[in-house]
Structure 1
Amino acid sequence: MKIISITLLLISAFLSIKHGWDAFQPAQPAQAKMMADLGINASVVLYLGILSIILGILLFFPQTFFISNLLNAIIILLIIAFSLRAGNIKMALIEIPFLTLPLVLIWLKYPFKF
């Protein structure tokens, strides 16, 4: 169980940091259109990128593990809500597995406690 928890923790941290880093890269036309359809402008994307990187790093500390996963779940839930508001059901469905990741990590608890 601990190996699964560590693996999911590393995957979650990697995805958070990667998505945060991607916010600072030049947006591809398809990505820019998707963000515009969701009603998210470029400045908000930068703030979400910073938040995502911070949350990815905070996953590794036992004191911030729970809140980091909770905020990750809230951000993903907001993306799902914006997708549904924009009528993009496919994107909302794609985000569901990513929503389960922080929730499962909360359930498994911090893996590095002795």
Structure 2
Amino acid sequence: MEKIVTFEEFTKVDLRIGTIIEVNDFPEARNPAYQLVIDFGPLGIKKSSAQITTIYSKKDLLNRQVVAVVNFPKKQIAKFMSECLVMGAVKDSDVFLLQPEILVKNGSSVA
């Protein structure tokens, strides 16, 4: 188990549902990655970089709903500004995106 956090600390993490509306190659990234543009409804459009090229094609990702942390500070990755962190489960160094089982409204909170 990693470092223990309190429930109060955990509640500060804002996890939301968004839909990927654009996927671009990211040749400047140190490791193979995509640039994702994600619609979070009332929270607006946010960008993220994701190292998921071995599992997902750009076509697989377009219009897919994902879970993301939307209240981290922005992070510069090469010439790209990542504005959220897409969540996934790791298996054998591959990342499998987390997503709701049914279509939900963009911007919905994850409880």
Q: Which has the larger strand fraction?
A: 2
Q: TM-score, normalised by structure 1?
A: 0.29
Q: Which has the larger helix fraction?
A: 1
Q: If you compute each CA radius of gyration, which structure gives the higher value, 1 or 2?
A: 1
Q: TM-score, normalised by structure 2?
A: 0.29
